[in-house]
Amino acid sequence: MEALDIDRWDLECEFNNTDHRTDLNGVDRLIVRRGQVFTISLYLRSGNYQPGVGSLDLVAETGPQPSEQYGTRASFGLSADIDTSRWSAAVTGPPGDTLTLSICAAPDAPIGRYTLTLGASGQIEFILLYNPWCPDDAVYMDNEKSLEEYVLSQDGIIFRGSSKHPIATPWNFGQFESGILDICLRILDMNPKCLRNPGKDYSGRRNPIYVSRVLSAMVNCNDDKGVLLGRWTDDYEGGVSPMFWRGSVEILRNWDSQACQPVRYGQCWVFAAVACSISRALGIPCRVVTNYFSAHDTNGNLVIERYINENGEPIQSRDMIWNYHCWLESWMTRPDLKSEFNGWQASDPTPQEKSEGVYCCGPIPVRAIKEGDLMFKYDALFVFSEVNADVVTFRKNKDGSTSQVYSTAVVGQKISTKSVGSDAREDITHLYKYPEGSDEEREAFKKANHQNKLLHQQQNPGLHVTIKVTSDMSKGCDFDVFAVVTNNTQSEKKCRLLFGSCAVSYSGVTGGNCGFKDLLNVELPPGGGQRVALRLNYSKYGALLTEDNLIRLGALLLDYTTKESTLAVRNIVLENPEIKVRILGEPKVNRKLAAEITLQNTLPVQLDNCCFTIEGANLTGGCVISETLNSSVGPGEDAKVKIYFTPSHSGLRKLVVDFNSSKLSHVKGYRNVIIGK
């Protein structure tokens, strides 16, 4: 056999990257997916290639300590045909002095940067990614529309607000923007496991379970040189509010340019969105999920103990119920478990509790949460608790005694994600939980040893209280909320009703009083009821609201005869003014467009220092573009600007808009734009 004498080569980056669906990263270098053939052109210096005569020894290597034992080095020669189950190469063009060389990486090869040695002629470099289009890859997903959404889509919707009123927040994932893939690979290189043992870590990158767990630790900075620092107070000194961010690109670039110092600050939806961007960049199908009334159980007993004072006002404790909490789901097989646990895996990069000594969580099969299989890896108990913990409420009396309060609070409501191919909300609660009260739910609770939910539930004392609201609850307005009390017993009841409200953050931290009413003599005939209104005025609540625009309503009904208490709690979210976006001009690639953006000031106060900001994948050149108004905007007046941008790629794109001013900040909006070629 005679070694081929190669003069030069062409990596055919544009053809290969397009074929491997990596062309949005650019076509100036080779980026391919494992388990799929790519082709390069070889130009011989002398002689012609003849099958069975010419030979070529190839060596593919990744990482600082390539090893065949670790799977980070593969040696192979020319074969008659490509074998997609392993590293292989074959000449697929006609014999001659110009060859078409087809190469395939093993479908379980570690992802990352590779060098490929071509005999004695030299080396080529390329990046290898997971391949969810390859049936032999652990991240294979057999649905083209889902792949468009969960791998290729560079923008999306994250649901915030409240369970009664989910609010769609646009997000620019931007995983294919310039430089982002390199930053994602740097994040893997900076993880403590890689710094301790790079050979073993690079080998682990063949496994999306391992990489997902690394990312859930590296997106927060609690144990390492991670991307984001969390902050759940109103003090954002040295950084910006988590509400400031419109996408992941600026965050990732800031981390990279600041020598891997954490970006300040993030909260759950930011952590989850950044992890989603990184996962999609690497080729793992994933989506951001929101769990409303999400339990944070600090001691693992599956019970959230809530305390109120004598006025029904909440007392802070370590166990919390977050108004909502966001995490990530990634799609992969679980060869370490049974096959029914393949599919969506939940992981959570928000630093809440330590797992194996590190602030990370997951991945755990969503199916394991539903079935109550809490012995499976990783962190099943914590995630199960987030969607299933029991809630027990106690009233602390002035004399130090406590009494249990009847309450109907249920955690794990309206678990939500963006629908495939549309901005609509998809309810995926059924993937995490069986219907309440069903035999299947009871079996799952038995398996999970969830004794509190299995025991006889609290008896309804016959007095019932609910909180009702109207539909016109906008920030800046005065409005009424209502406590509706009913007597379901056969005897007359004399009661006391305490109806209060306070500002609250999405993570459950309460603030100042927004309005309070104490009715000492509520008389309820058998089967009768009353509707009690509480007026909330902007002049009082306006200065107390956090950026989440949330108010906690609590109605505590005390039965003078039996001394029993019934509590109703409801969080309401106040709507910001709507941002309207009009595109001026015909949307085409490389043609300058204008976005005319308008927001009406619905607050009874003047807005100063008004600024609109836009960004969008393949719309704004990977940059954030801002426009500041020169004048103030009075009550009822419009803030209006034109911002120019030039799309770089065709297709459906999302232009994300943010508005900030002196009295109204972090108002989000978006416009979907179809860009023609």
- Tell me: the pLDDT tens digits for 303-330? 888 899 988 888 887 788 999 999 999 9
- 363 and 480 part of one domain: no
- 349 and 439 part of one domain: yes
- 149 and 124 part of one domain: no
Give the residue numbers annotated as catalytic, written as ranges: 268, 325, 348
Tokens of 515: 């309005």
- Cα separation, 282 vs 596, in Å, equals 35
- 166 lies in some domain: yes
- 137 lies in some domain: no
Domain boundary among 97, 129, 161: 129
On whether 441 is known to bind a ligand per the annotation, the reply is: yes
Angle CA(523)–CA(526)–CA(531) in degrees, nearest 5? 50
Tokens of 521: 């003599």
- Cα separation, 224 vs 190, in Å, equals 8
Domain boundary among 103, 129, 155: 129
- 176 lies in some domain: yes
- 539 and 659 part of one domain: no
- Give me the CATH number covering residue 63: 2.60.40.10
Q: Distance from CA of residue 450 to its chain's centroid?
A: 28
- 98 and 150 part of one domain: no
Beta bridge partners of 571: 552
Residue partners of 620: CB distance under 8 A and separation at least 6: 614, 645, 655
- 101 and 165 part of one domain: no
- CB count within 10 Å of CB 59 equals 17
Helices 268-282 and 180-189: angle between axes, nearest 10 degrees: 100
On whether 487 is known to bind a ligand per the annotation, the reply is: no
- 514 and 621 part of one domain: no
- Cα separation, 293 vs 112, in Å, equals 38
- Cα separation, 206 vs 250, in Å, equals 28
Peptide bond connecting 378 to the previous residue in cis, omega within 30 degrees of 0 = yes
Structural contact between residues 446 and 454, judged by C-beta atoms closer than 8 angstroms? yes
pTM (2 d.p.): 0.96
- 188 and 294 part of one domain: yes
Radius of gyration of the chain (CA): 29
Residue partners of 371: CB distance under 8 A and separation at least 6: 444, 447
Which amino acid makes up residue 50? Q
Residue 290: what pLDDT? 98
- Cα separation, 664 vs 113, in Å, equals 45
- CB count within 10 Å of CB 25 equals 21
Which residue range(s) make up the domain with 640?
579-675
On whether 388 is known to bind a ligand per the annotation, the reply is: yes
- Give me the CATH number covering residue 166: 3.90.260.10
- Cα separation, 215 vs 190, in Å, equals 11
Helices 249-257 and 268-282: angle between axes, nearest 10 degrees: 80
- 534 and 614 part of one domain: no
- 526 and 598 part of one domain: no
Residue 451: what pLDDT? 65
- 453 lies in some domain: no
- 185 and 294 part of one domain: yes
- 569 and 595 part of one domain: no
Name the E strands within 138-262: 155-161, 166-172, 228-230
On whether 390 is known to bind a ligand per the annotation, the reply is: yes
- 400 lies in some domain: no
Residue 654: what pLDDT? 97
The answer to whether the Cα torsion of 128, 132, 137, 138 is positive or negative is positive
Tokens of 529: 């009821």
**Domains held by the chain: number:** 4
- 236 lies in some domain: yes
Helices 208-218 and 268-282: angle between axes, nearest 10 degrees: 140
> Maximum Cα–Cα distance for the chain, whole Å?
105
Residue partners of 589: CB distance under 8 A and separation at least 6: 647, 648, 649, 650, 675, 676, 677
Residue 455: what pLDDT? 59
Give every residue of the chain whose pLDDT is below 70, as ranges.
1, 451-461
> Residue 518 in 3-state DSSP?
strand
Q: Look-up: residue for tokens 């299933």?
A: 388
654: nearest Cα among 645, 642, 665, 666: 645
- Cα separation, 421 vs 408, in Å, equals 36
